[in-house]
A and B are shown apart, each in its own frame.
Chain A
Amino acid sequence: MRILAIETSCDETAVAVAHDIDDVIQIETSLVRSQIDIHTVYGGVVPEVGARQHLEMIMPMIARAVRPDGAGIDAIAVTAGPGLAPALRVGVEVAKTLAWTWGKPLVPVCHLEGHIYANWIGDEKTLGTVTIPAFPILALIVSGGHTELVLMRDHGQFERLGETLDDAAGEAFDKVARMLGLPYPGGPAIDALALKGNPHAFAFPRPMLNRDDAMFSFSGLKTAVLYELRKDDTRLTDEGFRADIAASFQEAIVETLVEKTMRTAGKCAPKSIVLAGGVAANALLRNRLTVAAEHRGIPMFLPPFRYSLDNAAMIAAAGYYRAQHGDFTDPLTLVAHPNQDI
C-alpha cells in the first residue's frame, strides 16, 4: 500500500509518500518546509505566517511528491488534530479535495499518534534489520507542546496515563535556553552547551517525582533556573557557568522523564518502550532511557532523528496502520479537531 500523507498542525508544512515492506514503513519522499529550499519549490517569496504559509506551500510540495492524477497512491492520510485550527484546516481541506477528486480513501490521523508511529519507520541504513515494537507499548511523547505517557495496547488503541500539568518538556528547554541567551530552538543549544558543563553543579528540582502517578510539571523547574540566574546575573557572561546551568537543568529534566517512564513501565509491564516527539533528539534522554530500559529488560525504540520533529512521514506510518484496519472517513465530512485527544 502506498500512502500520501499531509501534516499542517502547527508550524510545519509537510508532505510524504510511503509504502510498507512487511509492515515496516519505507519512506519514498518526506518534504518538510523548514528543511527545504523554498525557492526551488515555490519559485517566489513565501509569507512568514502560519496558516498563510501552509496555504502557499502545500500544493507545490504535493506536486513534488506525487503525479497530478494521483496514480500509484492507494490512500491519503492527514493530521486532523490536535493543533492550531486555521493551520490544521489547510491540510484537512487539501486532503479531502484530493481524496474526493482522485477517488482515494481518506484516513484522518491524530498528530500525537503520528509521533509514536515514527518508530515504525525503517531507517535506510538498517533496512532489512528493522524490528517493530511489540504490544503493549509504553510511549513517552516529548515535544514543545506535549509531554505525555501513553499506553498503546494495539494499533489504534491508546490510553493516556499521564501528561504535563503546565509546560511541556520542550518548552522548558526552550525557555531556559532563552534565559541563557541561546538561540531558538533551545533544545539542541542546551544539549550542546551541557556537554561542557557539570550536571551536578546546581541541585534543580525533579518535579513530581514525589507523586506516584504519571503526571509531569516543568513550570517550577523553569522558575527554579530563573531564580538561580537572578541571584547574580553577572555570572551569565561566564561560559563555564552557563554550561553548568545547562547541564544541571538538562540532568533534572532528563532524570525526571526517565524515572517517571520507568516507574510507569513497572506498573503496566509493556513489551516495548518507545520515545517520540522533537525532544527525542536530545542525546542524554536517548542514552538514559536506553540504559534504563535495558536494565529492566524491555526493548527500547528510538525514532530516526529526522522523523522526531514534526513531519508527514510519521503521519504516513500511522495512516498505513489505520488504513490496514479500514479506518477511512468520508472526504466530504471530515473536519479538523483542534482539541483532539489521543
Chain B
Amino acid sequence: MRISHSLEESHAIAAVLAKQLVGGERIILIGDLGAGKTTFTQGLVAALGSTARVKSPTFTVMNEYPVTGHPTIHRVVHCDMYRFTAPEELRALELEEYQSPDTVLIIEWPDALPTVDWHPTHIVRIGHIDEHSRSIVIEEVGE
C-alpha cells in the first residue's frame, strides 16, 4: 500500500503502474466518490507519454485517449460504470472491440455492476484517509 498526500504523489504512484504496462491490460479502479480515480487515470495516461485531456467519463461513459511514442501501447480506453444499473447494458458498449494488445482498458466504478466478472489484470483500490491523503493499493491479478 502506498500513501499519497497530493495530486502529484497520486500521479507518481500511477506512473509506477504505467511503467509495467505493455498493452492489453484491463485495470479496474475501485474507490468512493472523490477518492481520486480520475486523478489516478490522469497520472497513468500522462506517464504513458500521452498528452490527451483525461476527464471523468461518468456521463460520456467511455473516453478514448490516443498514445503516441510508446513502443507497444497506442491508446487508453477509460470507461465509467457509475450510471449503469444492469449487466445487459454492458453489451451496448461492445467492450470486446476495445480489447486489443495495443490498448489499455481502465474501468471506473466496476462495483456498480457487482455480478459482472471483469477479468482484470490489475485492481487499483483507492481509499480516503483524510481530505488530502489517500491509500492506493495496486494488485496484479494472476492468470
Contact residues of A with B, CB < 8 Å?
Answer: 10, 47-53, 82-87, 143-145, 163-168, 170-171, 174-175, 178-179, 219, 222-223, 226-227, 338-339
Does B62 interact with chain A (Cβ within 8 Å)? yes
Contact between A171 and B92, CB atoms less than 8 A apart: no
Contact pick for A87, options B33, B39, B92, CB 8 Å: B92
Determine which residue in B39, B42, B56 has the highest number of CB atoms from chain A within 10 A of its CB, and name it. Answer: B56
Question: In the complex, how many angstroms separate the beta carbon of A303 from the nearest chain B beta carbon?
Answer: 19
Question: In the complex, how many angstroms separate the beta carbon of A214 from the nearest chain B beta carbon?
Answer: 14
Does B143 interact with chain A (Cβ within 8 Å)? no
Contact pick for A165, options B55, B85, B89, B92, CB 8 Å: B55
Contact between A166 and B39, CB atoms less than 8 A apart: yes
Question: In the complex, how many angstroms separate the beta carbon of B32 from the nearest chain A beta carbon?
Answer: 8
Please indicate the chain A residues that have their CB under 8 angstroms from the CB of B61 in the complex: 10, 50, 84
Given contacts A86-B92, A170-B59, A219-B34, 4 further A-B contacts (CB under 8 A): A48-B89, A171-B59, A219-B56, A338-B64
Considering only CB atoms and an 8 Å cut-off, how many residues of chain B contact the other chain? 24
Please indicate the chain A residues that have their CB under 8 angstroms from the CB of B89 in the complex: 48-50
Contacts A165-B55, A222-B34 known; A49 to B64 CB distance under 8 Å? Answer: no
Would you list 18 pairs from A and B whose C-beta atoms are within 8 A, ordered by A residue?
A47-B88, A49-B92, A50-B93, A51-B93, A52-B91, A144-B58, A145-B59, A163-B53, A167-B56, A171-B56, A171-B59, A178-B33, A219-B38, A219-B39, A222-B33, A223-B34, A226-B33, A338-B62
A193 CA / B131 CA spacing, docked (Å): 26
Contact pick for A86, options B60, B86, B93, CB 8 Å: B93
A174 CA / B58 CA spacing, docked (Å): 10
Contact between A164 and B33, CB atoms less than 8 A apart: no
Please indicate the chain A residues that have their CB under 8 angstroms from the CB of B117 in the complex: none
Please indicate the chain B residues that have their CB under 8 angstroms from the CB of A86 in the complex: 92-94
Please indicate the chain A residues that have their CB under 8 angstroms from the CB of B39 in the complex: 166, 219
A163 CA / B53 CA spacing, docked (Å): 10
Nearest chain-B residue to A51 (Cβ)? B92
